[in-house]
């Protein structure tokens, strides 16, 4: 590709420089020819005036002195012809057919001088002729045979300067083309090498992929384009196949791990339940501890598998929608958790106006799992009689030239509980870090699911007094709602906190 790129740039540069140099060289030759003709026309006209006295009276003194001086300076011969019986005067000119034709034109009172543009090569002299006389009276003619060597030498010098400039410009253009080709292609070569090195470290290679992954392969050997680009495309295709294999392997490993661990745990818990029936009274507390630890181990296993699944990359396709209606999922989860929340002595409300046209680029199952974890944490760890507020907010794209971001959807879940210390906010998403009695994987799962959707998560203290969790995810391109000039207002954090509903059968969703 580098050779092709340099050749293309050289051809373009040659065309551009030639288009500039050729007209310039033609202008130089044309200008020098016009200057030559102007000077010689002036000289022959001056001789025609001086020769007027000679062709009528034969007085040679003035004409001979001028002709000798002119020949000494320019080296050009002069011929004066008279029609009044005076002998022709020649200052070094030999009369031949060309000279006779020029004399005939002069005696016919023709004053034109037909001289074409000079070229550097050649030495043919040019004849300049003028009639001697006044008006229609022609008493003779003056002929000057002007040498063109000096004019042609000047043109050659000008062309050599233009040629030197052309060669210098081409040399600079070649150097620039090589540097540009190196600058353009070096990142491609480095990228291809990095991709090949990365592929070599993956546990799966292209040839090791199962047949089910064959649909992801796409040959690019027959595609057009430079060899470097085709090689990079092939490397990228192999890398994608390897990544697909690694993702499939991770998914299979998660499924097999769940199967291999759940069976022994289920059998163990079944045996513990059977033994707890006839256990002596003095051992019942110990059995309760064992049962609780077995249940906790089940919870840890479920959350660990969920965390591993959340960290698995999501590949396009597969028949799963990549976006969802945020408010529809929020309403569904609030309705689901309303009874559980009331049973735990808490209350849950929606702090924003539902808008089913707002869609975010996140899978519905992932968003459901995020909301379930946040609601479950709020009811378990925020304290008694906690008030939970959830809402959705649209964030318009940034118009700042330094930070242009696309539209985003902000989901907020906050509570009026005891909150979390400021120093501990930065570690909430670390695996196995818990502020209560859980496994410490809930918020790690939430963070992994949000980042898998190219989103983000933030924690701070809510105006309600407890913890506020904010989830940012990209707005779906399929969202039919036009973005406002500023984000839609979320009022849940500033609304007054109502007393918990004393009636457990009332609907607070």
Q: What is the pLDDT of residue 223?
A: 56
Do domains 2-155 and 202-313 share one topology? The answer is no
- Rounded Cα–Cα distance for residues 179 and 172 (Å): 11
What architecture is the 202-313 domain classified under in CATH? Orthogonal Bundle (1.10)
Phi, psi of 423 (to 5 degrees): -65, -25
- Rounded Cα–Cα distance for residues 306 and 286 (Å): 30
Q: What is the pLDDT of residue 29?
A: 92
Question: Does the pTM of the predicted model rise above 0.85?
Answer: no
Give the SS3 label for residue 119: coil
Q: What is the pLDDT of residue 501?
A: 46
Q: What is the pLDDT of residue 404?
A: 45
Question: For each successive 10 residues of the chain (509 residues), what is the average pLDDT?
Answer: 76 90 93 92 91 87 88 90 89 88 88 80 86 84 91 93 92 86 80 79 58 47 65 77 72 72 76 75 78 76 71 57 84 89 85 77 89 87 83 75 66 88 83 67 86 89 90 80 46 44 39
**What are the domain boundaries of the chain?**
2-155, 202-313, 321-509
What CATH topology corresponds to 321-509?
Heat Shock Protein 90 (3.30.565)
- Residue of 222, 112, 120 lying closest to 163 (CA atoms): 120
Q: What is the pLDDT of residue 152?
A: 92
Q: What is the pLDDT of residue 480?
A: 46
Measured CA angle at 277 (ends 274, 283), to 5 deg = 105
**In CATH terms, is domain 2-155 a member of 3.40.50.1970?**
no
Reported in sequence order, the residue ranges of 326-407 that DSSP labels E, i.e. its strands, are 347-350, 359-360, 387-395
DSSP β-bridge partners for residue 470: 412, 458
């Amino acid at each position: 590709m580098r050779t092709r790129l340099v050749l293309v740039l050289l051809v373009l540069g040659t065309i551009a420089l030639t288009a500039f140099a050729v007209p310039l060289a033609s202008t130089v030759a044309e200008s020098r020819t016009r200057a030559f003709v102007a000077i010689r026309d002036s000289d022959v006209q001056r001789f025609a005036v001086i020769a007027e006295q000679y062709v009528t009276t034969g007085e040679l003194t003035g004409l001979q002195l001028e002709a000798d001086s002119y020949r000494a300076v320019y080296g050009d011969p002069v011929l004066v012809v008279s029609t009044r019986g005076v002998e022709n005067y020649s200052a070094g000119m030999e009369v031949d057919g060309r000279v006779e034709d020029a004399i005939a034109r002069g005696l016919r009172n023709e004053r034109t001088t037909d001289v074409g543009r000079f070229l550097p090569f050649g030495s043919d002299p040019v004849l300049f002729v003028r009639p001697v006389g006044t008006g229609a009276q022609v008493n003779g003619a003056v002929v000057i045979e002007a040498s063109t060597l000096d004019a042609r030498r000047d043109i050659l010098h000008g062309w050599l300067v233009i040629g030197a400039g052309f060669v210098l410009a081409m040399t600079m253009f070649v150097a620039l083309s090589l540097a540009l080709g190196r600058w353009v292609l070096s990142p491609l070569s480095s990228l291809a090498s990095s991709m090949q090195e990365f592929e070599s470290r993956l546990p799966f290679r292209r040839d090791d992929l199962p047949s089910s992954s064959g649909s992801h392969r796409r040959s690019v050997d027959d595609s057009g384009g430079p060899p470097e680009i085709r090689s990079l495309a092939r490397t990228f295709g192999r890398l994608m196949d390897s990544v697909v294999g690694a993702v499939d392997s991770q998914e299979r490993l998660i499924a097999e791990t769940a199967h291999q661990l759940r069976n022994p745990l289920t059998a163990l818990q079944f045996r513990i339940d059977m033994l707890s029936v006839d256990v002596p009274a003095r051992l019942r507390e110990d059995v309760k501890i064992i049962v609780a630890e077995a249940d906790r181990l089940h919870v840890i296993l479920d959350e660990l598998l969920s965390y591993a699944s959340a960290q698995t990359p999501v590949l396009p396709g597969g028949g799963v929608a990549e976006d969802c209606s945020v408010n529809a999922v929020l309403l569904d989860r609030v309705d689901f958790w309303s009874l559980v929340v009331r049973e735990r002595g808490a209350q849950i409300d929606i702090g924003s106006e539902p808008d089913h046209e707002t869609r975010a680029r996140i899978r519905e199952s992932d968003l459901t799992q995020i909301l379930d974890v946040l609601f479950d944490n709020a009811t378990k760890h925020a304290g008694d009689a906690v008030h939970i507020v959830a809402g959705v907010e649209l964030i318009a794209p940034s118009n700042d030239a330094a930070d242009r971001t696309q539209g985003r959807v902000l989901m907020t879940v906050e509570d009026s509980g005891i909150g979390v210390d400021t120093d501990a906010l930065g570690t909430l998403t670390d695996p196995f870090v818990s502020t209560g009695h859980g496994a410490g994987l809930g918020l790690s799962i939430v963070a992994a699911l949000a980042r898998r959707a190219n989103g983000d998560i933030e924690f701070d203290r809510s105006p309600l007094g407890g913890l506020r969790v904010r989830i940012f995810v990209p707005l779906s391109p399929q969202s039919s709602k036009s973005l406002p000039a500023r984000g839609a207002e979320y009022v849940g954090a500033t609304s007054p906190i109502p007393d918990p509903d004393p009636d457990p059968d009332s609907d607070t969703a």
